[in-house]
Amino acid sequence: MTHFEKQKRELDAHRPFPPLALKSLEGRLEVDEVHNSTAIEGNSLTLGETALVLQKGLTVSGKPLKDHLEIKGYDDGYRYIKSIYQSAHTLSEKIILEIHRLIFRHFENGLEKEYAEGIGRYRTMPVYISGSEFVPPNYIKIPELMNILIDFLNGIKNDCLRRAILAHFGLAHIHPFTDGNGRSARLLMNLLLLSEGYPIIIVKNDRRAKYINSLEALHQNPKDTAFFKLMTDFLQESFDLYKSLYS
């Protein structure tokens, strides 16, 4: 039994948690996840401002409309994975495309036609990652590569943490969408963790450089372990928050 399996067993032994305390913690995790995952992509709203948008429906003066819509879209994606995780043990293309669609749903009527047509669909053009030596696969190969990835992930039965982290990296590596690949990958990872009763991994924006560098290293060398180590560090932080419910 691994270190994290032992912690999950300990968590399960203390369930059910006090309802009000659990609701408060899960509300905090939702805001933290939405804020950090969008901030990594350049969103300017602070953690407190993100909470105002999500919990009060307020608009933050002086901040771009685009940033508000990104927050709302990512939260829609987060709420989607929270609504399906109990029946999502088997991953499907439909789930991945729906995650991507929800991230951008508030932009559908305000985007250029070519860009809008890519929402919830695989890209039909080359993409390049700014600051990276890695070049994502040719778009013609994406449907095949995604099928291979989904089949591979569904074949992992006894190591749900490895499965979730590989899903994150695999989606980032294939880069199947014109935009939103990182956000989709982080939500996909958390869907797979939730489906096995694990806490979510919140990739913290204050370690953005470490996150980007570890992804880049794994793109270049499949044996590099920095990305896996960083994800498990973040998972431990989430476990520690849940432990505060009973210790």
Q: pLDDT tens, 107-166? A: 877 655 555 678 999 999 999 998 899 999 999 999 999 999 999 999 999 999 999 999
Predicted confidence band at 247 (pLDDT cuts at 50, 70, 90)?
A: confident
Residue found by looking up tokens 């995790």 in the block: 29
In this structure, how many other beta carbons lie within 10 angstroms of the beta carbon of residue 15?
11
User: Angle between the 93-104 and 181-195 helix axes, to the nearest 10 degrees?
Assistant: 130
> 158 and 49 in contact (C-beta within 8 Å)?
no
Q: What is each CA distance from 49 to 14, 39, 79, 142, 202, in whole angstroms?
A: 33, 12, 19, 37, 18
Q: pTM score, two decimals?
A: 0.96
Catalytic residues, by residue number, are: 175
Predicted confidence band at 29 (pLDDT cuts at 50, 70, 90)?
A: very high
pLDDT at 74 over 70: yes
What mean pLDDT comes out for the span 36-59? 98
Instruction: Give CA–CA dist 6/28, Å, rounded.
Output: 24
Residue 105 burial (10 A CB sphere; 0-12, 13-18, 19+): middle
pLDDT at 61 over 90: yes
Tokens of 186: 């982080």
> 156 and 166 in contact (C-beta within 8 Å)?
yes
Predicted confidence band at 1 (pLDDT cuts at 50, 70, 90)?
A: low
How far is CA 43 from its chain centroid?
15
> 114 and 88 in contact (C-beta within 8 Å)?
no
pLDDT at 19 over 80: yes
Number of structural domains found in the chain: 1
| CATH number of 130's domain | 1.10.3290.10
Question: pLDDT per residue over 188-243, tens digit each?
Answer: 999 999 999 999 999 999 999 999 999 999 999 999 999 999 999 999 999 999 99
Could you tell me the residue range of the domain that residue 197 belongs to?
3-243
Q: What is each CA distance from 161 to 126, 191, 199, in whole angstroms?
A: 31, 11, 11
Please state the residue numbers annotated as binding site for ATP: 179-186
